[in-house]
Chain A
Amino acid sequence: DTGVSQDPRHKITKRGQNVTFRCDPISEHNRLYWYRQTLGQGPEFLTYFQNEAQLEKSRLLSDRFSAERPKGSFSTLEIQRTEQGDSAMYLCASSLGWDTEQYFGPGTRLTVT
């Protein structure tokens, strides 16, 4: 049983560029979550998918952010026109049911220069 995987693990980009991250959940996990963690802080919830439906979005998810899960399996998180404040670790998690533990991936560390 492989865990949650994320790609890339590190991304350095210049301000104003677009970036896209991918998350592959544990197989058969129909629930998928994105969190963001800035330096020295705990992770903060960004968005939630149940199968392919995006059911919840945090106020942290500005118009420059978009997330998809087209076939209910992997998910992508895109940030357009990146800003230095977007520098953070982006964590993906998945769970099997509504009442089960979330399992976290290794994260994608984004640095915006």
Chain B
Amino acid sequence: ELKVEQNPLFLSMQEGKNYTIYCNYSTTSDRLYWYRQDPGKSLESLFVLLSNGAVKQEGRLMASLDTKARLSTLHITAAVHDLSATYFCAVEARMNYGGATNKLIFGTGTLLAVQP
């Protein structure tokens, strides 16, 4: 059974600092996603990583994927308060019914609090 682990679970950082969130998964998967979730809100898609070595950047966030190590990272550069949220990684897993459609397996999330 595919398992997804994130660390840290909670990250308090000061504005202007850099930090990295890690996402490990237990078995091979075709695709990895990063989402942002604000309190009481739904999921906002940040990145979709499709292949080994994929790197995507948007503003102060950069995501990378190493399929051999089954590891993805979300790097935050020069954090600002607006980045405060919970960040989830999710990995696709085959469903049991035998078809090609995948379900998403989510990590437990990283609560990021950026202090001014």
Contact = CB atoms under 8 A, between A and B. Distances in A.
A101 B105 contact: no
Contacts of B42: 89, 91, 104-107
Contacts of B103: 33, 45, 48, 56
Nearest to B96: A56
Interface in B1-30: 4
Interface of B: 4, 33, 40-43, 45, 48, 88, 90, 95-97, 99-109
Interface string A53-72: 00110000000000000000
14 contacts: A41-B108, A42-B109, A48-B103, A50-B99, A56-B96, A98-B99, A98-B100, A98-B101, A99-B100, A103-B45, A105-B42, A106-B42, A107-B42, A109-B40
Interface of A is mostly: strand
Contact of B109 (A41, A48, A50, A91): A41
A74 interface: no
Interface of A: 31, 33, 35, 40-45, 48, 50, 55-56, 89, 91, 95, 98-99, 101-107, 109
